[in-house]
Amino acid sequence: MGKPLRWGLIGASTIAREWVIGAIRAQPGSEVVAVLSSDARRGTDFARAQGIPSTYTDLDALLANPEIDAVYISTTNELHKPQTVAAAAAGKHVLCEKPLALNLADALEMVAACAKAGVVLATNHHLRNAAAHRKIHELIRSGAVGKPLFARIFHAVYLPPHLQGWRLHSRGAGGGVILDITCHDADTLRFLLAAEAIEAVALSQQAELASGELEDGVMAVLRFDNGVVAQLHDAFTVKYAGTGLEVHGTEGSIIARDVMTQRPGGEIVLRNGSGETAVPVEHENLYARSLRAFNAAVAGQGQPSASGQDGVRSLAVALAVQEASRTGRRVAVRYQ
């Protein structure tokens, strides 16, 4: 049983509204106390619509509120680092959105600041909380595919019109599909394979949505330190592909469909010498599970489902894919 937490939201964002506020409130005794927006009107509208008692436009004022135990940071990506460092200095626990930062040095500084302040830092990688992914993890660990050789991630989706803003047009805010989606793939593969990516090659695309230097699609290949080679296809521009994940090993293949999503769901099939078996999954809200683990970690019971260090590592992989796609070279993943 985790500790009930009183939350301050840093960012009047879509993800907070659609998923995270509900997940916070699903934890017994936990509540959302305040929201920070850079725009007073947007903040008050958001607070009224979401039933949040107070709003702030000044970060220091929110962080000075002694009623707040923890903050959820879901602003645009360039703000995550200064806001996390300030929250840690104020003694608040931090659940931060991915990518943690725009470069590795900033992400490492965030981890160090939270460690120094003795507060929990978690990265909101929702997918490793999905019951489907946890089942695939269990299958791989139990030897169901033998030695894993290859993985394939199908994460090419269509960015909904209400999100077609900074992700497509602002490099300064950390836009582009690689920072947005590839970092989720990287975290998912690290979790499933219990391995680290060591090198990347990639080709990106700017099709019809993104502008400037930003990509709206990418295909990448990663090599992991256990020998697995993984192929990723991420996009904002693909309407009808559907999502999926496959792991192919010496003794079997796991084929999962509709599992790279925010919604609980999807199907898993195990294919091997005995034929094809549908694997049952008891689905659960991904964000509620993430918040449950966070509350437990604050109470000293275990770790958040994805830690700050996990956020550093998924960012490192995304940055390697970004560099590979920009230079056309094979790039080693740097974690320091």
In whole angstroms, how close is the CB of 79 to ligand NDP at the nearest point? 8
Number of chain positions touching ligand NDP (CB under 6 A): 21
* 134, 148, 189, 193 from 141: Cα distances, Å: 11, 10, 13, 9
- Residue 3 sits in the site that holds ligand NDP (CB under 6 A): no
Q: Return d(Cα 13, Cα 47) in angstroms, integer.
A: 11
Q: Please select the residue that binds ligand NDP; options are 28, 39, 49, 225, rule is CB under 6 A.
A: 39
* Contacting range for ligand NDP; rule: CB under 6 A; set: 71-79, 221-229, 241-249, 321-329: 71-79
Place of tokens 């909904």: 160
Residue 66 burial class via C-beta count within 10 angstroms: exposed 0-12, middle 13-18, buried 19 and up: exposed
* 19, 24, 34, 40 from 288: Cα distances, Å: 9, 7, 19, 29
Q: Please select the residue that binds ligand NDP; options are 1, 163, 194, 207, rule is CB under 6 A.
A: 163
In whole angstroms, how close is the CB of 123 to ligand NDP at the nearest point? 8
Look at residues 252, 261, 287 and name the one whose alpha carbon lies nearest to residue 188: 261
Residue 89: both structure tokens together: 């200095």
* Contacting range for ligand NDP; rule: CB under 6 A; set: 35-43, 82-90, 112-120, 194-202: 35-43
In whole angstroms, how close is the CB of 260 to ligand NDP at the nearest point? 11
Q: Please select the residue that binds ligand NDP; options are 5, 7, 12, 222, rule is CB under 6 A.
A: 12
In whole angstroms, how close is the CB of 35 to ligand NDP at the nearest point? 8
Return all residues near 76 (Cβ < 8 A) that are at least 6 apart. 166, 170, 173, 174
Q: Return d(Cα 294, Cα 306) in angstroms, integer.
A: 9
Q: Please select the residue that binds ligand NDP; options are 55, 75, 129, 307, rule is CB under 6 A.
A: 75
Residues 253-312 that bind ligand NDP (CB under 6 A): 262
Q: Please select the residue that binds ligand NDP; options are 4, 6, 15, 112, rule is CB under 6 A.
A: 15
- Residue 58 sits in the site that holds ligand NDP (CB under 6 A): no
Q: Which is nearer to ligand NDP, 10 or 268 (CB)?
A: 10
Q: Return d(Cα 35, Cα 39) in angstroms, integer.
A: 11
With beta carbons less than 8 A apart as the criterion, state whether 68 and 298 touch: no
Please spell the DSSP secondary structure of 145-191, one letter per residue.
TSSEEEEEEEEE-B--GGG-SHHHH-TTTT-SHIIIIIHHHHHHHHH
Q: Please select the residue that binds ligand NDP; options are 98, 128, 289, 313, rule is CB under 6 A.
A: 98
* Per-residue mark of binding to ligand NDP, 115-154 (x: CB under 6 A): ---------x-x----------------------------
Binding site for ligand NDP (CB under 6 A): 11-15, 37-39, 42, 74-77, 97-98, 124, 126, 163, 165, 180, 262
